[in-house]
């Protein structure tokens, strides 16, 4: 798309098509104060478009408008140019009807999954369709009807080959699904591999336009990897790794040149597809490495207790937020999956799919959804709720402190977290409050000790 004032062009498009006013959602900036990355996303007619990032708010807004225009143009042009001859053009408001007809003709069941999520000013309605064995992405709308219609339109676009949105493939041919080719190498300069394993890798890559570094996670396309993207896209918290966008690419040149031989090969490699997930770049040091480094020092390290409490508070705050979104972490709350942002804030991030082959964590993750050494007792029975996350948090807090004196306040907190029965463990919100009290007590004790020595 040619350069220019994308915000003005998007406003002009909205006026001509009578789609209503263009709104912009502003996400929290990331990075240190001297090197901030700002993010905005355009919302038009209740539909949220891909994030735009920039060095300042104005640049982020322009990129958000550009992304919205590109998506709108992709949806408009192919319908006129590449729609199958046996399919007539469908007017707005008729996609649900088309989907019902498609279901009857092809004898496949369809199911609409409708939800409501909190928005910037009010709640927004979301809908996704499950057609046969294929689950399509969520789409938002101002009303339930709008969301359902937009979701049906997305199904139409994908089936007719006019959308680049990924879905889980079953019996469809490759020609039915359009895949964005070579975006990784055309938009980014891959700099180094941050982690790799049987299922994929994470690259540090520089955006050629923004001149900023991001983490790009590349995994084999499957339903499980898309679920992770859906979960990440719903979360926005300073202690959770920031998700920006995702796209799909074929294997072939991209995989052989940049992802190398550790990615799995199918019998027919030409049909293999890979998911690219752009995320916030974090420090290469994980919490596991931090703990190992601390363990090589004297157990009398005076700062360890205070630092460990601060780290645990940040993790619990992130877990509390995830629980409020009706999600369970399960394997995010392990030291190898806790990262540090470039601003040194603690970040919950799951890189379990791309751990190095020689890493002990990979062996630990192969048998269960979580890591066995951190897994709550009830998780083996596969019948658990959100308190499944409190157990590994307790073990991790113990690891952070390494050696506790009997009767210590931290020991009491950890014991409550390690109760065998989930109902006996504290909620994340209760745990956060307890840790705040303990932090205040420690701060007071430190001040008294300082005054006594003066």
**Strands 188-196 and 200-207, bridge-based pairing:** antiparallel
Q: Which phi-psi region, left, alpha or beta, contains residue 161 (left: φ > 0; alpha: ψ -120 to 50)?
A: left
Contact 219, 225 (CB under 8 A): yes
Backbone angles phi, psi at 62, to 5 degrees: -60, -45
**Which residue, among 338, 242, 329, has the nearest Cα to 290 in the 3D structure?**
338
Distance CA 160, CA 172 (A): 11
Question: Rounded to whole angstroms, how far apart are CA atoms 7 and 25?
Answer: 14
Main-chain phi, psi angles of 438, to 5 degrees: -65, -35
DSSP per residue, 23-68: EEEEEEEES-GGG-EEEEEEEETTEEPPPEEESSHHHHHHHHHHHH
Cα 177 versus chain centre, distance: 23
Annotated binding site for ATP: 217
Question: Can you tell me the distance from the alpha carbon of 157 to that of 78, in angstroms, rounded to the nearest whole number?
Answer: 9
Cβ proximity of 168 and 222 under 8 Å: yes
Any residues with CB less than 8 A from the CB of 351 and at least 6 apart, and which? 195, 202, 217, 336, 337, 339
Angle between the 304-324 and 287-295 helix axes, to the nearest 10 degrees?
A: 160
**What is the rounded CA–CA span in Å between residue 226 and residue 229?**
5
Q: Which residues contact 255 (CB under 8 A, 6 or more apart)?
A: 263, 272, 274
Q: Whole-angstrom Cα distance, residue 346 to residue 349?
A: 10
State how far the Cα of 68 lies from the Cα of 185, in Å rounded to an integer: 22
Residue 135 pairs in a beta bridge with: 130
Partnered with residue 338 across adjacent β-strands are 348
- Taking a C-beta distance cutoff of 8 angstroms, is the pair 49, 67 a contact? yes
| CB of 247 closer than 8 Å to CB of 182 | no
| Binding-site residue set | 217
Q: Which residue has the tokens 């990262």?
A: 339
Structure token pair of residue 59: 């640049």
Whether 53 and 211 have beta carbons less than 8 Å apart is answered as: no
């Amino acid at each position: 798309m040619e350069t220019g004032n994308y915000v003005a062009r998007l406003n002009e498009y909205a006026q001509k098509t009578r789609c209503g006013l263009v709104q912009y959602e502003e996400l929290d900036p990331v990075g240190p104060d001297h090197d901030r990355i700002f993010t905005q996303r355009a919302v038009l007619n209740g539909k949220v478009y891909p994030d735009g990032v920039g060095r300042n708010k104005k640049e982020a807004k322009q990129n958000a408008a550009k992304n919205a225009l590109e998506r709108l143009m992709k949806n408009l042009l192919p319908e006129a140019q590449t729609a199958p001859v046996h399919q007539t053009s469908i007017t707005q408001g008729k996609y649900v009807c088309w989907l019902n007809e498609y279901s009857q003709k092809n004898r496949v069941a369809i199911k609409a999954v409708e939800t409501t999520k909190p928005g910037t000013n009010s709640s927004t309605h979301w809908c996704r369709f499950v057609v046969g064995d294929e689950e399509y992405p969520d789409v938002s709308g101002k009303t339930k009807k709008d969301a359902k219609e937009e979701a049906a339109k997305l199904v139409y676009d994908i089936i007719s080959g006019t959308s680049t949105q990924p879905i889980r493939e079953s019996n469809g041919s490759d020609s039915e699904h359009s895949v964005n080719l070579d975006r990784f190498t055309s938009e980014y300069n891959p700099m180094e591999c941050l982690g790799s394993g049987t299922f994929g890798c994470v690259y540090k890559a520089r955006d050629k336009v923004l001149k900023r570094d991001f983490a790009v996670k590349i995994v084999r396309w499957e339903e499980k990897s898309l679920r992770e993207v859906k979960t990440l896209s719903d979360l926005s918290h300073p202690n959770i790794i920031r998700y920006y966008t995702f796209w799909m690419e074929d294997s072939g040149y991209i995989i052989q040149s940049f992802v190398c031989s550790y990615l799995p090969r199918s019998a027919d490699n030409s049909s293999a597809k890979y998911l690219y997930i752009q995320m916030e770049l974090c420090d290469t040091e994980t919490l596991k490495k931090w703990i190992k480094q601390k363990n090589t020092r004297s157990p009398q390290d005076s700062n360890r207790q205070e630092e460990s409490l601060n780290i645990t508070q940040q993790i619990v705050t992130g877990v509390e937020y995830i629980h409020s979104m009706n999600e369970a972490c399960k394997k995010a709350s392990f030291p190898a999956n806790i990262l540090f942002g470039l601003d040194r804030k603690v970040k919950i991030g799951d890189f379990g799919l791309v751990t190095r082959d020689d890493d002990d964590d990979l062996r630990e993750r192969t048998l269960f959804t979580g890591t066995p050494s951190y897994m709550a007792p009830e998780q083996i029975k596969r019948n658990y709720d959100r308190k499944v996350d409190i157990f590994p948090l307790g073990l991790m807090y113990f690891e952070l402190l390494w050696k506790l004196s009997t009767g210590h306040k931290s020991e009491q907190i950890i014991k409550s977290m390690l109760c065998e029965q989930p109902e006996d463990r504290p909620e994340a919100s209760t745990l956060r409050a307890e840790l705040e009290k303990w932090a205040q007590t420690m701060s007071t004790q430190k001040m008294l000790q300082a005054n006594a020595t003066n």
